[in-house]
Amino acid sequence: MASKKTPEINGGSMADISFIALIFFLMVTTMDKEQGIARRLPPLPSEDQKVEDQKVNRRNIIQVKINASDRLFAGNQPMDVSQLKDKIKEFLTNPSNDPNLPEIEMKNVEGLGMVPVSKGVISLQNDRGTTYSKYIAVQNELIRAINELRDDFSMRTYGKKYDLLDEDRQKIVRDAVPQPISEAEPKDVKKK
Amino acid sequence: MAKFIKKEKSDIPAIGTASLPDIVFMILMFFMVSTSMRQTDRKVKVVMPQASEVTKLERKDLSSYIYIGTPTEQYQAQYGTESRIQLNDSFRTIDDIRDFIAAERENLSEADRPFMTVNIKADADTRMGIITDVKQELRRCSALKIMYGARSDVRK
């Protein structure tokens, strides 16, 4: 044994070293939160497939249009973004069995049984001149309407909010309250 | 007297710096956990619109980014002030999206490819025309999972 003790490593510069590491991380990283509105685009119709006009009953479709000057029309009626959510909720639930609002069909949802499901489809159309922020605001309202319907449904069925359900039940709720937003082939919405 | 002065001096001890490394390490850990590596230099100005119904991206490693916005000031002389598309580190056009998506797909493992998400980060003032073009091109490349980048607002 040359020495009884191994000499202690000097830890005085530890602070400096970790400061350098800290500053490095401050510079190369961002704090961007990766969040947004997740959507699924419809696949392109294949070449040989004839573009059949899907015969959707007129009452089952609501057209939400945003024109080049950011005006919003829902079901041919001009309205403000703040009114859209309730309009969509009324459209999808059809509480008074209005013949002008979509049909409600009993559908078998796996794991739950027969559930009334609306056949309504929301068709979203925008102009090339629409601003992105307006488009997102409208998308947001549509999703908000559907999220509220999902919450209502899961409250009624499970007594819990949608977010608090487990994975399987969330899927059941998603099946019972679908998100029928269709983004049509790009088409210019003319000014009214 | 001398004794008195000496006593007063020793009453104020130096602040111990022994725990400084630990404190700095703690801050370092916080930043390492809460931030993500910056992948690209932004060359376009992107102020994302606000939305209340945002969802968090589950798998960051599976997403590729398309930035759309007006070029930042230093590039305006060269690229003008019209909205442009930025892929990776450079300004590109709609036609380059196909190659970009193919390359991004190539980087992922076979099992992860169907879950690839294209994150569209567009400026709030962008016109939908360019975004519609991008969306059509993405459909042509069958990259169907997309996400419109948005900031969450407090209204709930």
Task: Using an 8 Å CB-CB cutoff, list chain A residues near B149.
Answer: 35-36
Q: Is B149 within 8 Å of B122 (Cβ atoms)?
A: yes
Residue A142: which of A65, A67, A78 has the closest Cα? A65
Region of A70 please: left (phi>0), alpha (psi -120 to 50) or beta.
Answer: left
B32 in A contact zone (CB under 8 Å):
yes
Q: Please report, for residues B40, B106, B120, the alpha-carbon distance to residue B86 in angstroms, rounded to integers and kept in the order given.
A: 10, 20, 10
Q: Taking a contact as any Cβ pair under 8 Å apart, which residues of chain B between 57 and 116 contact chain A?
A: 57, 60, 63
Residue A139 has pLDDT above 60, yes or no: yes
**What mean pLDDT do residues A19-37 have?**
82
Chain-chain contact of A15 with B38 (C-beta, under 8 angstroms): no
Looking at residue A90, its pLDDT comes to 85
Chain-chain contact of A41 with B139 (C-beta, under 8 angstroms): yes
Cite the DSSP H helix spans in B1-156.
Answer: 2-10, 20-34, 73-79, 96-107, 128-140
Looking at residue A9, its pLDDT comes to 78
Q: Please report, for residues A66, A88, A154, B48, the alpha-carbon distance to residue B128 in angstroms, rounded to integers and kept in the order given.
A: 10, 23, 35, 14
Q: Chain B residue with minimal CA distance to A21?
A: B28
pLDDT tens per residue across span A89-128: 888 888 777 777 887 877 777 777 788 888 888 888 888 8
What mean pLDDT value characterizes chain A? Answer: 80
The string of DSSP letters for B54-72 reads: -EE-S-GGGEEEEEEEEEP
* B117, two tokens: 């998400």
Domains of chain B and any CATH numbers? 2-34 (no CATH), 44-152 (3.30.420.270)
Q: Chain B residue with minimal CA distance to A134?
A: B124
pLDDT tens per residue across span A59-92: 788 888 888 888 888 888 888 888 888 888 888 8
Higher pLDDT, A185 or A71: A71
Higher pLDDT, A23 or A50: A23
Task: Using an 8 Å CB-CB cutoff, list chain B residues near A167.
Answer: none
pTM: 0.77
**What mean pLDDT do residues B113-119 have?**
86
3-state SS, A144-165, equals HHHHHHHHHHHHHHHCCCHHHC
Q: Chain A residue with minimal CA distance to B60?
A: A34
B150 in A contact zone (CB under 8 Å):
yes
Q: What is the ipTM of this complex?
A: 0.75
User: What confidence category does residue B139 fall into, taking pLDDT thresholds of 50, 70 and 90?
Assistant: confident
Residue B84 and residue A37: Cα distance in Å, rounded? 22
pLDDT tens per residue across span B26-57: 988 888 888 777 767 778 888 888 888 888 88
Task: Name the residue with tokens 């401050």.
Answer: A26
From B28, B49, B136, residue closest to A21, measured CB to CB: B28
Task: Using an 8 Å CB-CB cutoff, list chain A residues near B150.
Answer: 35-37, 136, 140
The string of DSSP letters for A124-146 reads: EEE-TTSBHHHHHHHHHHHHHHH
Chain-chain contact of A36 with B150 (C-beta, under 8 angstroms): yes
Task: Name the minimum distance, in Å, from the CA of A144 to any CA of chain B.
Answer: 6
User: What confidence category does residue A190 fall into, taking pLDDT thresholds of 50, 70 and 90?
Assistant: very low
User: What confidence category does residue B156 fall into, taking pLDDT thresholds of 50, 70 and 90?
Assistant: very low
Residue B32 and residue B19: Cα distance in Å, rounded? 20
A181 in B contact zone (CB under 8 Å):
no
What dihedral angle (degrees, nearest 10) is formed by the CA atoms of A130, A133, A137, A143?
90
* A85, two tokens: 């959510």
pLDDT tens per residue across span B1-10: 555 555 555 6
From B17, B123, B145, residue closest to A15, measured CB to CB: B17
Task: Using an 8 Å CB-CB cutoff, list chain B residues near A130.
Answer: 127-128
Q: Chain A residue with minimal CA distance to B117?
A: A38
Phi, psi of A24 (to 5 degrees): -60, -45
B49 in A contact zone (CB under 8 Å):
yes
